[in-house]
Amino acid sequence: MVKEITLRQAGGSVTATLPKDITDRLHVGPGDRMFVIETEQGVLLTPYDPDFDAAMTAFEEVRRQYRNTLRKLAE
């Protein structure tokens, strides 16, 4: 899907307004954090946090390695 948006000056920043159908599909609203990632194809705007994904991947490895210890701690 291609949507055209207009950039506007807001103080010292430039803002972009996202159409309602896109914010509904992304489940985001006013005050939510979004991440801008520069790619070879352009700019990616996403609610996905790459640092959170890396932390969860590290947790999965630790959880597998220490599953018995974590089970005992949960008792």
Look up the pTM and report it. Answer: 0.53
**36-45 confidence digits (pLDDT tens):** 889 999 988 8
What is the spatial distance between Cα 50 and Cα 56, in angstroms, rounded to a whole number? 10
pLDDT at 46: 84
| The amino acid at 37 | I
What is the spatial distance between Cα 67 and Cα 48, in angstroms, rounded to a whole number? 28
Report whether 29 contacts 18 (CB < 8 A). Answer: no
Report whether 37 contacts 46 (CB < 8 A). Answer: yes
The Cα diameter of the chain in Å comes to 56
**6-64 confidence digits (pLDDT tens):** 999 999 999 988 999 989 988 899 998 888 889 999 988 888 777 777 888 888 888 88
